[in-house]
């Protein structure tokens, strides 16, 4: 397993030829396909192009990356830990995997509820298909923290200590892609053998994006996976609108190059081999969010985007379809969030408490944007009273 994992972590896709079905997508979350530009750490921005050396399984290799705000961004959404005189060996060694396939995680306090739902869907999809477990962090030293940022990016493999994933604007499919990096997967089209399977049209690539199409030096195991969730989209970094990547071989029915619906069978096979896991049975463990259940009339039956609560489930209307999410997955309940967002997942203490609040003895308690707040009025020499403008407050 030591040698298999060493090879597999460099490359996403099929670890063993017999484990692949040419990128077949197994049953995953029913997610909308993302179009156009892929994941970017700094979308729409251009950084300073710099060079460094990375220690890969095939030996030291020089890479080009963009420097943004003191960060080294490789291939658009991979963050590198820059050191002297080389970069760290990113995701290329067994010790950089997550112990026993368990990934402690945390949400930054400023991460919005919709982003948390998408990320939770992404984690549950990887869990359901591979058995990789994501557990809320308590005091673990090594963990990932999902934070807000300008775009989407991740380090590759376990780096040690607090490890950031920017996924606030990725949607569920993009979050699956970034989590794939954190588990140890690289971009599929970076394989050194990729020219046998895809053609790179460099004349259609933006000059400042051409360095993102260089190959990564390393050993190849398994068949090329056109359907990998780690593959670039066909129009990636195009400045003409025409495809920058085209397959040299016909794709099997149902295979979409650059899809962001779910990990492919090749992605799954890689993670199973890398972490020495057995694929979960279909009814084992939590799965992604239930499919939306539209109104029998094909509409939302008068429900708008502000939604409603059905016990701990928040329901809302989006693009004419009924959407729902189980707030208990976040350890929360369903309640009024604010006048702009309507109903959403909130602190359980806020389920029956809104911004007007209440008095608990001499303590004023209220909720703001789903967060429970309290103030000891007596400590300030005041009393908890009801005011017309602010509800219950210290006065």
Cα separation, 138 vs 123, in Å, equals 18
The 3-state DSSP class for residue 175 equals: helix
| DSSP letter string, 30-59 | --PPP-SS---SSTT---EEEEEEEEETTE
- Please count the CA atoms within 13 angstroms of the CA of 107 that sit on its side-chain side: 17
Do the Cβ atoms of 213 and 186 come closer than 8 Å?
no
Angular region, 221: left φ>0, alpha ψ -120 to 50, beta rest: beta
Residue with tokens 């997967």: 185
The 3-state DSSP class for residue 171 equals: helix
Q: Which two tokens stand for residue 230?
A: 């780690």
| DSSP letter string, 338-391 | ETTTEEEEE-GGGTT--TT-EEETTEEEEEETTEEEEEETGGGT--EEEETTTE
> Which are the catalytic amino acids?
178
Angular region, 241: left φ>0, alpha ψ -120 to 50, beta rest: left
Give, as one character, the DSSP assignment of residue 219: -
The 3-state DSSP class for residue 135 equals: strand
Distances (CA, A) of 188 to 36, 41, 75, 262, 305: 18, 18, 11, 15, 38
Q: Which two tokens stand for residue 17?
A: 């030829």
Orientation of helix 265-274 relative to helix 171-183, angle to 10°:
30
């Amino acid at each position: 397993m030591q040698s298999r994992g060493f090879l597999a972590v460099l490359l996403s896709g099929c670890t063993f030829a017999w484990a692949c079905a040419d990128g077949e997508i197994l049953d995953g979350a029913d997610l909308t396909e993302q179009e156009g530009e892929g994941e970017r750490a700094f979308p729409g921005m251009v950084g300073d192009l710099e060079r460094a050396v990375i220690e890969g399984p095939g030996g030291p290799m020089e890479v080009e990356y963009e420097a943004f705000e003191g960060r080294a961004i490789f291939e658009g959404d991979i963050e590198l830990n820059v050191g002297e005189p080389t970069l760290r060996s990113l995701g290329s060694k067994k010790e950089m995997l997550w112990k026993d396939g368990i990934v402690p995680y945390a949400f930054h306090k400023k991460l919005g509820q919709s982003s948390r739902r998408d990320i939770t869907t992404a984690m549950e999809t990887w869990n359901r298909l591979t058995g990789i477990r994501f557990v809320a962090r308590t005091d673990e030293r090594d963990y990932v923290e999902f934070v807000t940022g300008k775009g989407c990016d991740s380090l590759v493999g376990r780096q040690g200590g607090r490890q950031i994933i920017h996924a606030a604007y990725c949607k569920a499919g993009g979050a699956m892609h970034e989590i794939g990096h954190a588990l140890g997967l690289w971009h599929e089209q970076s394989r050194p053998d990729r020219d046998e399977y895809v053609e790179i049209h460099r004349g259609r690539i933006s000059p400042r994006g051409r360095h993102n199409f260089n190959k990564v030096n390393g050993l190849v195991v398994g068949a090329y996976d056109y359907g990998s969730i780690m593959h670039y989209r066909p129009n990636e970094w195009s400045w003409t609108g025409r495809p920058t990547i085209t397959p040299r071989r016909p794709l099997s029915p149902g295979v979409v190059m650059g899809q962001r619906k779910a990990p492919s069978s090749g992605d799954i096979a890689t993670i199973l081999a890398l972490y020495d896991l057995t694929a979960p049975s279909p009814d084992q463990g939590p799965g992604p969010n239930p499919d939306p259940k539209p109104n029998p009339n094909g509409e939302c039956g008068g429900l708008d985007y502000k939604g409603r609560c059905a016990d701990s489930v928040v329901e809302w209307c989006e693009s004419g379809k009924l959407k729902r999410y189980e707030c208990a997955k976040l350890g929360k309940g369903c309640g009024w969030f604010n006048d702009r967002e309507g109903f959403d997942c909130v602190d359980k203490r806020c389920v029956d408490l809104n911004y007007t609040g209440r008095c608990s003895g001499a303590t004023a308690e209220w909720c703001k944007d789903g967060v429970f707040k309290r103030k000891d009025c007596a400590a300030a020499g005041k009393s908890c009273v009801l005011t017309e403008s602010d509800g219950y407050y210290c006065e």
